[in-house]
Amino acid sequence: MTNGPLIVQSDKTLLLEVDHDQADACRRAIAPFAELERAPEHVHTYRLTPLGLWNARAAGHDAEQVVDVLLQYSRYPVPHALLVDVADIMSRYGRLQLVQDPVHGLVLHALDAAVLAEVTRSKRTAGLLGARLDDTDVVVHPSERGHLKQVLLKLGWPAEDLAGYVDGEAHAISLDEAGWQLRPYQKQAVEGFWHGGSGVVVLPCGAGKTLVGAGAMAKSSTTTLILVTNTVSARQWRDELIKRTSLTEDEIGEYSGARKEIRPVTIATYQVLTTKRKGVYSHLELLDARDWGLVVYDEVHLLPAPIFRMTADLQARRRLGLTATLVREDGREDEVFSLIGPKRFDAPWKDIEAQGYIAPADCVEVRLTLPDRDRMLYATAEPEDKYRLAATAPGKNHVVEKLVAKHAGDQILVIGQYLDQLDELADHLQADLITGQTRVGERQRLFDAFRTGEIHKLVVSKVANFSIDLPEASVAIQVSGSFGSRQEEAQRLGRIMRPKGDGRTAHFYTVVARDTVDQEFAAHRQRFLAEQGYAYTIVDAEDLDPAAEAGQV
């Protein structure tokens, strides 16, 4: 028995003692295969899941390595049954393989004949498989490659896709590394993706995911379709590609609500692709407009359902997913795994911070006690109205004013969910407001003014959650959000993670109404960042002192 920081339990939960001197090393060691479930002050709870273990297996970790980590850090003897389960679960990945046969085309090949017999008898695979060739091989209809991988994952036998990819239409792309070069972890991410063929790269916000995309495009040197969250993001991608690669403006097209350009590199928004007309996704012909060699999914954790279906039809193309977190609140991580590919590279936020590539961050939860009148309104409200009432509590305006005064002179983002609340805050703070109703040109003008320091405060809705590059933003104040969304919390912190010229710390505040669902959702939202090693200091709104030194709350 050792005095390790981890307690490994037979129900596949792992309890990590946060204050232990080996806690950080243990957190990094279990991150590739364990998912954080709860993160209160002293003991964090992780869980071993099949998807987590299969992701680790696809990334090159084997069961022996996972078992060694558990044995190394566990305070008590690890239950033998759990170690057997880990080995059994991980051994399921790759016992079925999708391969290209020179005679029969796409074939499902089994390293274990009994597994193939089991899945071919399942009703779920009916219509996806063709002729049985022998005990270990069955023909697969090429159009069902993606659907079959989804079904096999749900059956508990995730297939390793070794069938390769079409080359796509060649198009010369090279990195223009004059005055800059890919960082070591970005090179590792590109290599990990390329070696695996398709899959997901997970990097912190501000760590240069766009450059990983550019590196993959240079490696591929083919026509490329890039799918992004919004038009502002599309134009940031275009500007970055023109700046960092050999591509010219004429080679890059934008396919959005405003423009419909198809070029060798085409950047399309998820929104336009998922727009229905008379019940039909009329823009999906974009997928067949060129012989794409690479498809890049920015913010892959946000993939809308129609894009999942579309991705099932793109299995012969190389696919790169980019994200800061694979967490999906709808639980569809397994579809990202089967249709885009497994996680190929994952860099812990604190590791990138230690290398100086993202800013250190101080996370503070400011708890506001509601006055009696508001407490009674909340207590008697219908369940569906409780979060909005708590999240938009009038007292939050005064807290935000105090925090803005505390950080006078810094570049400050105030972020929220509810438009009437944001309107009021913008008025209180005499700040500009950006919402989904703000025209794209006006958004870009305000973001540019914020980047140059012409304006120091911006009030923004969830349109600023994703893919907005604001390098000098150093303070974010969150007043409301999409309920308990972990990925939104990570993205919002990410708005202030770009390293600052003077090396200063970024400050992330969440203003929460005490003893309400707002506080419960805040705890859930913080789980992913706690997994990355960020601790939230909890302070009372009454204790904020604008005159105190910034950050010392």
Phi first, then psi, for residue 274 (nearest 5°) are: -100, 15
pLDDT score at 465 = 64
Q: Show the low-confidence residues of the chain (pLDDT under 70).
A: 1-2, 39-41, 329, 464-468, 483-484, 545-553
What is the set of domains in the chain, with CATH numbers?
6-92 (no CATH), 96-161 (3.30.70), 184-352 (3.40.50.300), 359-543 (3.40.50.300)
pLDDT score at 551 = 39
pLDDT score at 118 = 96
DSSP 71-117: HHHBSSPPPHHHHHHHHHHHHHTTSEEEEEETTTEEEEEESSHHHHH
First to last CA, the chain: 40
Contact 468, 415 (CB under 8 A): no
CA–CA dist 108, 106 (Å, integer): 7
Contact 190, 181 (CB under 8 A): no
Contact 386, 378 (CB under 8 A): yes
pLDDT score at 468 = 67
pLDDT score at 549 = 42
pLDDT score at 162 = 92
Give pLDDT tens digits for 263-314.
Answer: 999 999 988 888 888 777 778 777 777 899 999 999 888 888 788 878 878 8
CA atoms within 13 A on the CB side of 224: 30
CA–CA dist 490, 445 (Å, integer): 25
CA–CA dist 340, 530 (Å, integer): 26
What's the residue count for the chain? 553
Contact 273, 307 (CB under 8 A): yes
Contact 105, 139 (CB under 8 A): yes
- State whether residue 353 is helix, strand or coil: helix
Bridge partner residues of 107 (DSSP): 99, 139
pLDDT score at 183 = 94
pLDDT score at 545 = 63
